[in-house]
Chain A
Amino acid sequence: MARLLVQLKLRLLFNALRASSGARVAFVLSTTLAALIAGGVFYLLSILRGDGIAAADLTTVIFCFFGLAWLVLPLVVFGLDSTLDPATLALYPLRMRPLAVGLLAASATGAWPAATLLGLLGVTIGLAHGALGELIALVAVVLMVLFCIAMARFVTTSLAGMLRSRRGKDFAALLFIPIFAIYEGFFQILPKLASEGALTASSFGGVDTWLRWLPPGLAVHAIYDASTGHADTALLRLAVLAGIIVVLGLLWIRSLGRALVTTDTSTQSAVRGTALPFARYGLRGTVAARFWLYQRREPFAFIYWAITAVIMAVVAFRLVLSPDWFGGLVASGVAGGAFVGAFHSNAIGFSGPGFGLEASALNGRRGLRAYFSGQNIAYGVIAVPLVTAVGFVLAVVAKHPMDGFVTMALGLAAIGAGLAMANIFTVVSAYPVEKRGGTPIPRATTGHNGEAAASQLLTLLCVGVGVTPVIVAAVLTQSVSPAIKMPVLVLGAAVYGLALAWAGVRAAANLAEQKLPELAQIAIQSSL
């Protein structure tokens, strides 16, 4: 059974190379990233040598990071790896023990388990010293990989019923937000801090006091103890870790037996409220209500707002802590509005087949204006407070809280420009999207990636150009008293943004009137 399931896993992996070009690129990128992470982590762990307990602290952090990744990522890619879902094997007459062994073996197959093993083996050069230390390091790394696999299996199997449901998929989708934030932190912020000497091995000194008692910490401190001559405590730590793995394995087998015969009932609950909000405010209000409810209930809509906030923070993070803080606040406001536009530049494609209902009811240019302005109201209701709040937080960090109004002003103008461009691009370059396993954000269907990239990049570029007058005004009035400058700047930017959005709505409605059937066909091709 183990051999058969390993063969199945390998076949599924290599079949990706024969699937669509998108799947092929994803496979190659994933494998390359796994190799890079394996090499990078191996190097990082191998240079943590001779720093004593500080090296153990940082090694513990890295091991814990792997543990966290193995806990979270399988939930996100649940639909992608069919060997993770016990329901795919429920039809076959399989006994529990060989099935469990086979599923464990399948879990250990692939680029990411190999990357984990190879990367963590860096401790044999770094933290481990002496023959006993090296031996314990080998055992500890193998146990750590086993722990990651057993934990991932237990969690995904326990939640399998839920993860197959709509609510479970929604929950897994939201995990994308911390993953994106961690990714941005690792690749944008940490390298800068490390290069400036603000982040060293000793920075992690405090966290180890509690991380050492977690399973990854047990593995690392077993190596440290063995390398410093404390073989007994090293073996004790490994024994505790092995015990945790056995318990996880037993729990997993129990949940596997249950998952094979249990259906999910988590989607039976009802929504609150009795009617469509704002529907009494005409067609514009009705459309705004539909888009507003979607912003609250559709996970990828929520993810886009969270990513916008993260991008605003990352763009300004270094600058607001430097003498160029003003530039950081300006850049953050512009980026916020620009990404609001870019993320909604294919609203019709993202509406999916439901747009057919709207297309068969929208009458003429007037109806289309109400349609575009209605969706802009829903986006604006979220975008304006979000961009303003992030702007003020950054201004406080920069120790110039009043200049949060500058970010707010830039944000208001950029949101107006962004929504105008989003309306226009959703008509001139609408493209169908589809949900695929592994990512909660729908992506352009095969053959439409170019349109997706072009409309998003052009939206960002046009917003940059569109808000130039407000940037110039903000820079030229830096020396003016805030009491006079801020109200004028914010009000002027708001009016300017509204004017741009109004022009965008009119242009988009004029363009859409001529191609409503074509837009409906594109939306119907979307698979959400």
Chain B
Amino acid sequence: MGEAAIAVTGLRKSFGPKEAVAGIDLEIAAGSLAGLVGPNGAGKTTSLSMMTGLLRPDSGRVLVKGLDMWADPPAAKAIIGVVPAEARVFERLSGEELLEYAGRLRGMAAGEARSRAKQLLDVLDLTEDAKRLVADYSTGMRKKAMLGCALIHNPAVLFLDEPLEGVDPVSADVIRRLLTRFVSSGSTVLFSSHVMELVEQICDHVSIIDKGKIVITGTTDEVRGGKTLQRAFIDLVGARANDEEVLSWLGSSSN
């Protein structure tokens, strides 16, 4: 493994009696496209929030490109981009205004921010809707606009929380190609998802999280262990009990 772009040690977070993240250790090499997968409520969003400086951990350390996220947040936040799971940003800005705002917040010159915003909107297939309010965007369009916000300052490391949730196949393909191109230039991506097929397809590194703990981490082939990622995931996390007998009436007639 090369130089670690993301190095997490002993990360913990509790909400009252519930331990959402129970001590995570994770290392992602620079230039990786890494997936963090887990069932609902496993601690994916909480972990990513702590890694991106948006949620203070109870304990643990997060290094991004060697910069300590919680010892020097401004320095670490300057080199990352974040796409949160919540697909609601500044709804009353147009797509173009939103991307320019994100660029200006990152200290870019107005002209540069405007120019990059236009280019990103073009690549994300949002040029025709650039002047519409984000409030009128579909979920997929919002996700693409938020990806544009996260990329506009050309971060070294990109964190995405469920980036393809609710996104149509065409938009998903646009996002997928953009991420692959971003990583091929040496940048790093860590994204959370529970869509195993997607992770298996594009990630070179996978970590499975369950009940706030990393169950397994490694290259995609190592984690799969000769099976599909879906099967490996279910074997590790455990499947739900079969309810078929309870729903014996289902599909038997029109009543």
Q: Given that A276-B100, A289-B101 are known contacts, is A520 also in contact with B54, CB under 8 Å in the complex? A: yes
Q: Is the CB of B113 within 8 A of A357?
A: no
Count of B interface residues, CB-CB < 8 Å: 39
Which of B132-140, B164-172, B199-207, B235-243 is near enough to bind chain A?
B132-140
Closest to A165 in B: B136
Q: Is B74 an interface residue (CB 8 A)?
A: yes
A268 contacts chain B at the CB level, 8 A cutoff: yes
B105:A357 contact, CB within 8 angstroms = yes
Known pairs A270-B131, A283-B107, A360-B54; A290 contacts B88 (CB<8 A):
no
Q: A362-B105, A517-B56 are in contact. Are A279 and B100 (CB under 8 A)?
A: yes
Q: Are A279 and B104 in contact (CB under 8 A)?
A: yes
Interface hub of A354, A367, A516 (most chain B Cβ within 10 A): A354
Residue of A nearest to B73 (CB): A516
As a 0/1 sequence over residues 337 to 372 of chain A, the CB contacts with chain B under 8 angstroms (1 = contact) are 000000000000001111011111111100100000
Partner of A283, one of B77, B105, B132: B105
The answer to whether A166 and B136 touch (CB under 8 A), given A352-B88, A354-B90, A363-B77, is yes
Q: A276-B100, A283-B104 are in contact. Are A357 and B90 (CB under 8 A)?
A: yes
How far apart sit A283 and B104, CA to CA, in the bound complex (Å)? 7
The answer on a CB contact under 8 Å between B77 and A360 is yes
Complex contact A290–B86 (CB within 8 A): no
Q: Tell me which residues across on chain A come within 8 A of B53, comparing CB atoms.
A: 359-360, 516-517
Asked whether any CB of chain A lies closer than 8 Å to the CB of B84, the reply is yes
Choose among A279, A287, A520, A524 the residue with the greatest number of B CB atoms under 10 Å from its CB.
A279
Q: Are B113 and A354 in contact (CB under 8 A)?
A: no
Which residues of B sit under 8 angstroms from A297, Cβ to Cβ?
92, 133
Question: How many A residues are at the interface, by size bracket?
Answer: 35 or more
- Complexed CA–CA distance, A289 and B110 (Å): 12
Q: Which residue of A lies closest to B111 (CB)?
A: A280
Contact B55 A360 (CB under 8 A): no
- Can you name the residue of chain A whose Cβ is closest to the Cβ of B132? A270
Q: Are A358 and B105 interface neighbours, CB within 8 A?
A: yes
Name B128's closest neighbour in chain A (CB-CB): A270
Contacts A279-B110, A518-B56 hold; do A354 and B88 have CB atoms under 8 A apart? yes
User: B52 within 8 Å of A by Cβ?
Assistant: yes
Distance between Cα atoms of A361 and B54 in the complex (Å): 11
Contact B105 A279 (CB under 8 A): no
B4 at the interface (CB under 8 A from A): no
Q: Is B94 an interface residue (CB 8 A)?
A: yes
A483 at the binding interface (Cβ < 8 Å): no
Minimum C-beta distance from B242 to chain A (A) = 31
CB distance from A226 to the nearest CB of B (A): 53
**Contact: B92 with A298, CB < 8 Å?**
yes
Shortest B116–chain A CB gap in Å is: 13
A361→B102 contact, CB < 8 A: yes
Question: Residue of A at shortest CB range from B146?
Answer: A357
Is there a chain A Cβ closer than 8 Å to B141's Cβ? no
Of A269, A286, A352, A360, which contacts B101 at CB under 8 A?
Answer: A286
Chain B 83-117 per-residue mask, 1 if CB under 8 angstroms from chain A, else 0: 01010111111101100111011110010011000
Contact status B132-A361, CB under 8 Å: no
Q: Which residues of the other chain, B, contact A283 by a CB distance below 8 angstroms? A: 104-105, 107
* Residues of the B chain whose Cβ atoms lie less than 8 Å from the Cβ of A359: 53-54
Tell me whether B126 is interfacial, beta carbon within 8 Å.
Answer: no
CB <8 Å contact, B97 and A521: no
Distance (whole angstroms) from the CB of B234 to the closest CB of chain A = 31
Residues of A within 8 A of B82 (CB): 356-357, 360
A289, B105: Cα distance in complex, Å: 12
Residues of B with C-beta under 8 A to A289: 101
Query: Are the C-beta atoms of B80 and A267 separated by less than 8 Å?
Result: no
The reply to whether A361 and B106 form a contact with Cβ atoms under 8 Å apart is: yes
- Once A166-B135, A276-B97, A293-B92 are accepted as A-B contacts, the answer to whether A286 and B84 lie under 8 Å apart by CB is no
Q: Please, which residue of chain B has its CB at the minimum distance from the CB of A290?
A: B101
Q: Report Cα–Cα, A370/B50, bound state, in Å.
A: 25
In this complex, what residue of B is CB-closest to A272? B131
Decide: A353 and B88 in contact? CB cutoff 8 A: yes
Q: Does A294 contact B (CB under 8 A)?
A: yes
Query: Measured between C-beta atoms, what is the minimum distance from A134 to chain B in Å?
Result: 54
Closest Cβ neighbor of A356 among chain B residues: B84
Closest Cβ of chain B to A19, distance in Å, is: 24
Given A286-B105, A361-B77, A361-B105, A524 and B86 contact (CB-CB distance below 8 Å): yes
**B133 to chain A: which residues have CB within 8 Å?**
166, 267, 271, 297
Q: In the complex the two chains form, what is the Cα distance from A466 to B102 in whole Å?
A: 36
Chain B neighbourhood of A362, CB < 8 A: 105
Does B209 sit at the interface, judged by CB under 8 A?
no
A528 at the interface (CB under 8 A from B): yes
Known: A290-B93, A352-B88, A357-B102. A363 touches B74 (CB 8 A): yes
Which residues of chain B from 42 to 65 have any CB-CB distance to chain A below 8 Å in the complex? 49, 52-56
Contact call A276/B86, Cβ cutoff below 8 A: no
> Given known contacts A357-B149, A363-B74, is B90 in contact with A271 (CB within 8 Å)?
no
With a CB–CB cut-off of 8 A, which chain A residues contact B132? 267-271
B215 touches A (CB below 8 Å) = no
By a CB distance below 8 angstroms, the chain B residues around A484 are none
Once bound together, how far apart are the Cα atoms of A528 and B132, in whole Å? 18
Q: A354-B90, A359-B53, A520-B55 provided; 4 other pairs, C-beta below 8 A?
A: A271-B131, A275-B97, A294-B92, A517-B56
For this complex, 10 residue pairs linking A to B, each with C-beta atoms less than 8 Å apart, are A271-B132, A286-B101, A293-B92, A354-B90, A356-B84, A360-B52, A360-B53, A363-B78, A528-B88, A528-B91
Q: Chain B interface (Cβ within 8 Å of chain A)?
A: 49, 52-56, 73-74, 77-78, 80, 82, 84, 86, 88-94, 96-97, 100-102, 104-107, 110, 113-114, 131-133, 135-136, 149
Instruction: Please provide the 6 A-B residue pairs with the shortest distance between their CB atoms, ordered closest to farther.
Output: A270-B131, A363-B74, A361-B105, A286-B104, A297-B92, A354-B90
Chain A contact residues, CB within 8 Å of chain B: 166, 267-271, 274-276, 279-280, 283, 286-287, 289-290, 293-294, 297-298, 351-354, 356-364, 367, 516-518, 520-521, 524, 528
